[in-house]
């Protein structure tokens, strides 16, 4: 690969023999492939911008990356696309731009029929050229200087040629297996003979297109050693003359092509001039006829002058209208400028309001953070209080349970004391406790017991005053139904309410 050294010179980093064999490379060609400061042999400039666009294009990058930027041995005449059977070289890497305005590149010689043929030419010592193949429009600046349009140029590939378009685009042959140089035709014949029949057909077709004679001339007289030595001594001179003839032939071809192109341009210009001449001749004939009708032209001229005057007036009126329109346009421009100013002020206000909204949003975020922190603290306090409440509730429940137990014990004590008080009162009155309890409600107090006992005591006193013994249960009374009416009792015979109550008789 090409690298820039400490002295700002481009140096070639050689591959090892093993690397070349593993890649299927027969050798390498390095050197100038383009010049963007100087024109080609036909004075056309390929600019720096053009080559930057070529090598920055995705397709060219893809070709170089995938090692498919193939080139052929010689430019094809009737096509732009690559013929895979005639591939000879491949652009190994992105070309490097030098400070002298030249692009330098490395081309791998592939192990193909034309690659082997190219290697044979290089082994012989030929310094071959490189030339780009592409299509694009040619721009003429009007002073005879031509350049290729960078926007329309499409570079297909680079081909190895005998005479390159750029004079300095000659490549140096680099190989790790340098042998003694053989004669030109001997080298070609050996390469062709060692190849297969299909490869030989491709090689011969390529040599035919390049007009290279590869067959050696054999002498009829085998014993004539003097002629053989003469042929061997002059073989190198013939090959050099052949190369020079090929180069001059290529130059002549290009010159012929340029002359044909210029001739076609001349033919085009001649046709245009002939057409203009015929137009001018027709115009002259028309003018001669018009001169003969000058009187009629005068009248037409007068009418035209009148129409010109009318048109002037119309033009003046139109100019006035245009001036009015211009004034309206100026007023509209002023209004537009005021609107623009208002729009700018409103935009400034909007930006200020946006900044305020932004600040408010930031404040809201901070307040939210504060509220969230406060809420978290409150939640923690609530959790703590709930825990304390549960503890205190449990304590209060235990205390209430203990108090209930005490109340129950006090109730039992109170019930026992009331029972004992009722029994003591019953003993004092000389009666049974049930007689006192029967007169009491369900829940009764000591005062109620005392009032019931007082009533019973009064009742006993009244009973003791009766003339009979009320407690003697052995007296039996026989009652017969009387036929006589029962008389109303007197007031003195009234029975005390306590007796009714004692007898459990309702009045």
Question: Tens of pLDDT along 52-86?
Answer: 999 999 999 999 999 999 999 988 888 889 999 88
* Helix %, strand %, coil % of the chain (to 5): 60, 15, 30
Please check the confidence at residue 347 and state whether its pLDDT lies above 60: yes
For residue 10, the model assigns a pLDDT of: 44
For the chain, counts of helices (H) and of strands (E): 11, 13
Q: How far apart, in Å, are the Cα atoms of 192 and each of 25, 113, 117?
A: 18, 8, 8
> For the chain, what is the mean pLDDT?
77
**Lookup: tokens for 285:** 């004939």
Kindly give, in sequence order, each residue whose CB lies less than 8 Å from that of residue 104, ignoring residues fewer than 6 positions away.
2, 10, 30, 31, 32, 33, 95, 96, 98
For residue 6, the model assigns a pLDDT of: 43
Give residue limits of the domains in the chain: 2-216, 221-292
For residue 176, the model assigns a pLDDT of: 45
Please check the confidence at residue 189 and state whether its pLDDT lies above 80: no
Write the burial class of residue 68 (CB in 10 Å: 0-12 exposed, 13-18 middle, 19+ buried).
Answer: middle
Ranked by mean pLDDT, the top range of 16-30, 37-51, 483-497 is: 37-51
- What is the three-class DSSP state of 297? helix
Cα–Cα distance, 169 to 409 (Å, whole number): 127
Kindly give, in sequence order, each residue whose CB lies less than 8 Å from that of residue 48, ignoring residues fewer than 6 positions away.
36, 37, 97, 101
Cα–Cα distance, 344 to 356 (Å, whole number): 18
Per-residue pLDDT tens over the stretch 280-316? 665 666 666 666 666 666 777 788 888 888 888 888 8
Structural Rg of the chain based on CA atoms: 68
Please check the confidence at residue 224 and state whether its pLDDT lies above 60: no
Instruction: Tell me 481's DSSP state.
Output: -
Average pLDDT (19-47) is 86
One-letter-per-residue 3-state SS of 36-101:
CCCCCCCCEECCHHHHHHHHHCHHHHHHHHCCCCEEEECCCCCCCCCCHHHEEEEECCCCEECCCC
Lowest mean pLDDT among 77-86, 107-116, 122-131, 255-264: 255-264
Cα–Cα distance, 125 to 122 (Å, whole number): 5
For residue 220, the model assigns a pLDDT of: 40
Task: Answer yes or no: are the C-beta atoms of 90 and 69 closer than 8 Å.
Answer: yes
Cα–Cα distance, 298 to 294 (Å, whole number): 6
Per-residue pLDDT tens over the stretch 450-468? 888 888 888 878 877 776 6
Give the rounded distance of the alpha carbon of 240 from its chain centre: 62
Task: Answer yes or no: are the C-beta atoms of 128 and 170 closer than 8 Å.
Answer: yes
H/E element, 485: none
**Lookup: tokens for 338:** 């005021």
Cα–Cα distance, 301 to 375 (Å, whole number): 102
């Amino acid at each position: 690969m090409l690298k820039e050294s400490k002295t700002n010179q481009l140096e070639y980093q050689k591959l090892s023999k093993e690397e070349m064999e593993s890649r299927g490379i027969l050798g390498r060609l390095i050197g100038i492939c383009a010049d963007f400061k100087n024109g080609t042999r036909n004075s056309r400039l390929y600019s720096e911008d053009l080559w930057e666009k070529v090598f920055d294009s995705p397709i060219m990058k893809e070709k170089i990356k995938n090692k498919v930027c193939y080139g052929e041995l010689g430019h094809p005449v009737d096509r732009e696309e690559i013929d895979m059977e005639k591939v000879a070289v491949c652009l190994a890497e992105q070309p490097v731009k030098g400070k002298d305005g030249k692009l330098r590149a490395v081309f791998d010689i592939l192990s193909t029929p034309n690659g082997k043929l190219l290697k044979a030419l290089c082994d012989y010592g030929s310094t071959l050229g490189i030339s780009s193949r592409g299509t694009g429009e040619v721009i003429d600046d009007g002073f005879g200087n031509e350049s290729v349009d960078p926007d329309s140029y499409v570079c297909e590939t680079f081909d190895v040629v005998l005479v390159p378009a750029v004079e300095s685009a000659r490549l140096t042959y680099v190989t790790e297996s340098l042998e003694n140089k053989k004669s030109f035709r001997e080298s070609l014949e050996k390469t062709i003979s060692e190849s297969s029949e299909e490869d030989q057909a491709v090689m011969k077709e390529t040599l035919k297109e390049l007009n290279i004679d590869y067959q050696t001339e054999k002498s009829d007289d085998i014993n004539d050693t003097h002629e053989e030595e003469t042929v061997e001594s002059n073989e190198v001179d013939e090959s050099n003359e052949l190369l020079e003839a090929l180069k001059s032939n290529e130059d002549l071809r290009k010159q012929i092509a340029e002359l044909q192109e210029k001739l076609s341009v001349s033919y085009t210009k001649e046709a245009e001039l002939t057409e203009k001449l015929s137009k001018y001749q027709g115009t002259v004939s028309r003018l001669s006829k018009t001169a003969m009708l000058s009187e009629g032209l005068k009248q037409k001229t007068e009418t035209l002058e009148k129409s010109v005057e009318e048109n002037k007036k119309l033009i003046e009126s139109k100019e006035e209208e245009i001036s009015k329109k211009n004034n309206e346009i100026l007023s509209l421009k002023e209004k537009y400028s005021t609107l623009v100013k208002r729009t700018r002020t409103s935009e400034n206000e909007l930006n200020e309001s946006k900044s305020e909204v932004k600040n408010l949003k930031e404040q809201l975020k901070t307040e939210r953070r504060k509220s969230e922190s406060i809420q978290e603290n409150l939640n923690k306090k609530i959790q703590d209080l709930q825990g304390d409440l549960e503890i205190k509730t449990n304590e209060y429940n235990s205390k209430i349970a203990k108090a209930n137990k005490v109340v129950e014990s006090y109730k039992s004590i109170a019930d026992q004391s009331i029972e004992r008080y009722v029994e003591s009162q019953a003993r004092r009155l000389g009666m049974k406790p049930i007689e006192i309890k029967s007169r009491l409600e369900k829940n009764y107090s000591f005062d109620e017991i005392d009032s019931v006992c007082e009533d019973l005591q009064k009742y006993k006193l009244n009973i003791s005053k009766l003339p009979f013994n009320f407690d003697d249960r052995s007296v039996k009374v026989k009652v017969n139904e009387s036929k006589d009416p029962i008389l109303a009792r007197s007031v003195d015979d009234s029975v005390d309410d306590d007796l009714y109550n004692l007898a459990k008789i309702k009045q």
